[in-house]
Amino acid sequence: MIAFDRVGKRYPNGFDALSELSFALDAGEMAFVTGHSGAGKSTLLRLVALLERPTRGQVTVNGRNLGAVRRRGIARVRRGVGMVFQDHRLLLDRSVFDNVALPLVIAGVPREEMAKRVRAALDKVGLLEREKSAPSMLSAGEQQRVGIARAIVAKPPVLIADEPTGNLDPQLAAEIMGLFGEFQQVGTTVLVASHDLPLVKRMGKRVLVLDHGRLIDDFQPRNTGP
């Protein structure tokens, strides 16, 4: 579902953020990307969502070679990838409902169906009663959950999250990670970047470890599953 084949990314300033990176994630598989700050975790996720192009190698997402995707095809690729951001990137002048509905509006889903799907997504993250609130009225954890609801409302086959628990307390962080685990169980391919190694290990999923843009470890923690 997600495959990197000897991928390198050199930023325009000459910095090599990723080099010789190869791994593959099956459909419905979940993995964490971890590593020190600056290791290239965000860069890896940006390549999956076509926010950046690799300078070497080949990235395949949803069975499509992203190198062959032209400028006009980028939006379509992104609609197939749900994204969760550390700073959630909600639109503050719109209600929670409207924020979650945005991907459906973009996809041109009819209004009645839209309402149903938005409520289902909000229900899943436990925020059904807050649909009319402004995002600024929510706590950090709730905002992050709204961001997650927005990422999954259009049922993308791939879900990526960049430090989704970055500034949450440990209990909330575990809760959010648990949510991602649930999406994986319904067949979504999930890739989460996090530098919280203890938490990542506790999740019992596959872990990709980056170091200075190189994959130095790829393991499955032995202990508890969710």
Partner 1 sequence: MNRRIEKNRPKPAAPEPRGNFSLRAWREQHLYSLFSSLGRLAARPWATALTLAVLGFALALPLLFWLLLDNARGLAGNVGEAGAISAFLKPGTDVTAVQAFAARLRARADVAAVTVKTPEQGLDEFRERSGFADALKVLHYNPLPAVLIVDPRGDPGPLAAQLRADPAVDQVQYDAQWRQRLNAILVLALRGAQVLAGLLALAALLVIGNTVRQDIAGRSEEIAVMQLLGAEAGFVRRPFLYSGFWYGTFAGVLSLMLIGIVQVILAAPLARLTAAYDHAFAAHGLGIAQMLAVLAASAALGWLGAFLAASRHIVLGQPR
Ligand X SMILES: Nc1ncnc2c1ncn2[C@@H]1O[C@H](COP(=O)(O)OP(=O)(O)OP(=O)(O)O)[C@@H](O)[C@H]1O
- Enumerate binding residues for ligand X (CB under 6 A): 11, 13, 15, 17, 35, 37-43, 195
CA distance 192 to 148: 12
38 binding partner (options Mg ion, ligand X, partner 1, none; Cβ < 5 to 8 Å by kind): ligand X
Q: How far apart are CB 165 and Mg ion at their closest, in Å? A: 13
Buried b (16+ CB within 10 A) or exposed e, 70-96: eeeeeeebbebbbbbbbebebeeeebb
- The C-alpha angle 197, 78, 88, rounded to 5 degrees, equals 50
Q: Is 187 in the site for partner 1 (CB under 8 A)?
A: yes
Which position among 83, 148, 168, 210 is part of the footprint of partner 1 (CB under 8 A)?
83
Contact segment (CB under 5 A) with Mg ion among 17-25, 42-50, 118-126, 199-207 equals 42-50
The answer to whether residue 106 forms part of the interface with partner 1 (CB under 8 A) is yes
Determine the straight-line distance between the first and last CA of the chain, rounded to whole angstroms: 23
43 HSE (CA, 13 A, CB side): 24
- In one-letter notation, the amino acid at residue 118 is V
**Which listed option, Mg ion, ligand X, partner 1, none, makes contact with residue 148 (CB within 5 to 8 Å by class)?**
none
Among 19, 34, 42, 99, binds Mg ion (CB under 5 A): 42
Task: State the residues that interact with partner 1 by CB under 8 A.
Answer: 27-28, 49-53, 62-63, 71-72, 74-81, 83, 89, 91, 102-103, 105-111, 117, 120-121, 123-124, 150, 152, 154-157, 182-183, 185-188
Task: State the residues that interact with Mg ion by CB under 5 A.
Answer: 42
